[in-house]
Structure 1
C-alpha cells in the first residue's frame, strides 16, 4: 500500500465535524489500515477540533505516535485541556518513524516549528545546541516524575523535555510453539542459543527481527549490562563521553552476539533488512510460524488485535551468561519550541499532559510504564514478565541522556552493517568512526 507524507486520515480540512465520539469511531474503524502489511513509515494523522479558527490561541502538536490507541489517548488529553482552557485550540499531527524526524528538523530549521513536538535522545542532542528547546524546569509536574525519569531529564541541568512513558524492549515468545517443540522460555544466552539451534535444525526460522530496534537493543543490552550493574552506573556512562574507546569496546561484545545470531541462521539477514518496525515484523509473528520476535513491548496490544488466538508472553532479553536483561528508554519525550509564538501556553499544555491522569492513560495506551513515581506498569497480562523484571532487576537504558553521543542511531547503523555481511570487528570500527564524527573528531580513532 503506497503512502506519502501528506496523506491524512483525520484531516483538519475535512468537511465533517470531528467530535470525540466520531474520532474514536474513526480510529477504531481505521485500525486495520494502520496495521495492514505495507502501511508503514509515512502515514500522517491529524487530530483537529471544530473551533480552531475561533480560538484566541492556536497550538500545534507534532509527533510520531500515529497508532489508533495512542492517538485516542492524545485526543483525550487535547480535549481535556481545551475543556479547561476555552480560548485555546490544539491540533495534533503525526508521521510515523524516521520520516518524522526529517520533517521535524526541516520545520524547526525553517522557523516553522510546531509549538509542542516529540523528540528522542539523538534529536535532543542536536536541538539543545540549536536553541530549539524551551527550559521546562518550572513545570509544576516535574516533582511527580520517578527517579529513573529525573535521572535522564536532569542530565544537563536544564530540563529540555518531559517523558510520557518508559518503554521496554523484549523477546516475544510464542508459548504454544515453544511447548510443541519442547522448548522452555530462555533465560540466559546459552539457553537462547540451544533453543534457536533446535528450531534451525527443525527447519524453522527462530527469530523475527526488524531493521530498526530489534538487534540494536540486543547489542546494547549485552554490551552495557555490566555498566548498569556497577556501583555507580551514571558515573560509568558519563565517563564514556571522554572515553569513547571504552564505550566502543563494551559494545563489541554486543556486536558479537548479533553476529552469532546472523551466522547461526537465527534471523534471516536479508529479510530483517526489509522488515519495518511495528509493521512487517508483527505481520510475520502473527502467522504463528515463528517462536520468537524482538521488538518493543508497545507492540503487544497490536499483536493481540492481529492474532487474537496467538498465545505469547514478552520477556527480558536472554543475552547474558547468567541471566536476562531488560532494556528500557525514558521515552515519548515532549518538548516545547523555544522560538514558538506561544511558549508559555505550550508549557501549560505540557503541564496538563504530564498530570497523572493523562500521562498514565497515554503510557498505558503504548503498553509502557508510567514515568511518574511508582512507574505504574501497563495492564496487558502478556507483559507481566517484563513488569516483574522492571520492578526487581537491573535495567539497561538504551539511549541514556547522560551519554552525549548518538548511540541510538550509531548502533542501528552498525547492526545494519552486520546484516549486510560485515563482521563484529568491522562493526566496532564503524562505531568508532561514527562516534568520532559525531564528537567532532573527524576521522580520528577513538
Structure 2
C-alpha cells in the first residue's frame, strides 16, 4: 500500500511529490489499514465533498433525511476545496487511518484510486442493476467491479436568457459561426454575451471539455491519455483557436478572469449577460439568484459541418468508499438509502439533475434544461472514454485559456504548454 499511495501522490495528484505525505505513508499506511479493518464500526458516518454553497443543498437535505430515518446515526459532512489539494488530502487520510467513510470523487475521475486499489467493491449493492445504460457505460470499473455510486447525470450546454433571445428574434445556433454571430449581436447591443468565472480555471476547462466532446473519439482519447499523441496534433487542437475566436468576438467581459464562479452565475441569472456555457450542475446557483428566470439550454454548437451539435453526458457527484473506511457497512447503507426511489427523486429535485437510475422518478425537471433533456436520447454522447486530461494538462488548459482572455498568450504558446504538461505527466 505504501508504494501505491506514494505513486498516486507523485504521479496523479497534480504532479507534486510532498515529502511529509510520503513519510507519513511509509510510517503508518499498512498498519493503519489493517487496524481499521478490525476496529468495530461506530454510529458516526463521515462524508467528504467539494460541493457546498447553493449546490450543496442536495447533500444537506439527503443527510437530514438519512438521520431522520436512522436517528442513532450521526452524519458528519466536511467540505474541502475542489482543487489539486483535494486528492492529496484524501490520500493522506487514507494512509494515516483517518479516511472518510464516503467521499465525492473529484471531477468524477476514479483513475487515481483505481490504480492504487483504494476503492471498496460495490458490485453487489442493489442499485447497481438499476443504473441507466448511460451510467453503466460511464461507470469506472475494474475487472467487472463497480467501485462507485453515480447519483446523477450531468449534461453540458449553453444556458441562455430566453427573453433576450426572443426580443431580438435570435434562433438557436446550429454551427460555430452562427454562435459567434450571436455573440457579436449581443456585443453590438451593449450586452456582455457570456458569463464565465474566469478567475476559477475549472469553468474554462468545462468549456474546453464541451468543445472536446464534439471533436475527439475514444481511440484518440486513449492515445492522448497514454502520451502517444500530442494534443497539438490531435483533433482537440482545434479547440484553442476556436476559443481565441470567441474571445476576439467579444464573448466575455474584459475583466472576466477576475470574476469568480458564483459571481458569474449571478451575472447571468440577473440578466447582466445573455448566455453561460456550463453544465446542469450550475442550475441551483442560477435559480438561487433568479427563481423565476426564463432560461433554457442548447448544445454548444462546436461540431463538424452538417453534424448536429451533441449534448455531453457525464457522471456527476460520483461517490466512493475508501478501502480504509472505518464504517464501510454504514457507508453502504447510506448509498442504498440514497438510491431508494423516493429519496433519489427528492435528491434529483434538489440537485436539478438528470436521473441515473431506472427505478427512480426523474424529479422535477426545471424548464431551464427540459429542452436539453429531450435531446439526450438522440443527441447525447458520453464523455467517458474520450479525453480525460491529467491534472497537469488540465492546469495547462486552464492557464492557457486565461492567457488568451487577457492577451498574454497566443494560440501557439497555449498548445505548446499543453503538450509540455502532457509530457511532464507521463
For 1:143 and 1:409, how far apart are their aligned partners in 2? Answer: 36
Does residue 245 of the first structure (1) align with residue 229 of the second (2)? yes
Are the counterparts in 1 of residues 223 and 229 from structure 2 also a CA contact under 8 Å? no
Which ranges in structure 1 are unaligned for 5 or more consecutive residues? 1-54, 440-446
Partner secondary structure for residue 92 of structure 1: strand
Distance verdict in 2 for CA 1:335–1:198, change over 3 Å: same
What are the residue-to-residue correspondences of 1:329-344 with 2, within 5 Å?
329-344=314-329
Partner secondary structure for residue 373 of structure 1: coil
- Residue 288 of structure 2: aligned partner: 305
CA RMSD of aligned residues (A): 3.1
What are the residue-to-residue correspondences of 1:24-173 with 2, within 5 Å?
56-67=42-53, 70-71=56-57, 73-82=58-67, 85=70, 87-95=72-80, 97-98=82-83, 103-121=89-107, 124-157=110-143, 158-173=145-160
Partner secondary structure for residue 151 of structure 2: strand
- Residue 416 of structure 2: aligned partner: 429
Which range moved further: 423-432 or 370-379?
370-379
Are the counterparts in 2 of residues 121 and 408 from structure 1 also a CA contact under 8 Å? no
Q: 1:288 pairs with 265, 271, 281, which one?
A: 271
Offset from partner CA, 1:34-57 (integer Å, 9 cap, x none): xxxxxxxxxxxxxxxxxxxxx942
Offset from partner CA, 1:231-273 (integer Å, 9 cap, x none): xx4x5544544464265522211112111111222113x5332
Are the counterparts in 2 of residues 218 and 317 from structure 1 also a CA contact under 8 Å? no
What are the residue-to-residue correspondences of 1:378-417 with 2, within 5 Å?
379-397=365-383, 400=385, 403=388, 405-406=390-391, 411-417=397-403
Which range moved further: 89-98 or 423-432?
89-98
Offset from partner CA, 1:40-84 (integer Å, 9 cap, x none): xxxxxxxxxxxxxxx94211111123235743x434443544455
- Residue 255 of structure 2: aligned partner: 271
What are the residue-to-residue correspondences of 1:309-328 with 2, within 5 Å?
310-320=293-303, 321-322=305-306, 323-328=308-313
Query: How far did residue 173 of structure 1 move?
Result: 1.2
Offset from partner CA, 1:88-123 (integer Å, 9 cap, x none): 332223245437556545544544221111113476
Query: How far did residue 148 of structure 1 move?
Result: 1.6
- Residue 192 of structure 1: aligned partner: 179
Number of residue pairs matched? 376
Are the counterparts in 2 of residues 163 and 332 from structure 1 also a CA contact under 8 Å? yes
Q: 1:220 pairs with 209, 213, 237, which one?
A: 209
Distance verdict in 2 for CA 1:410–1:125, change over 3 Å: farther
Which range moved further: 127-136 or 326-335?
127-136
- Residue 36 of structure 1: aligned partner: none
For normalisation by structure 1, the TM-score amounts to 0.74
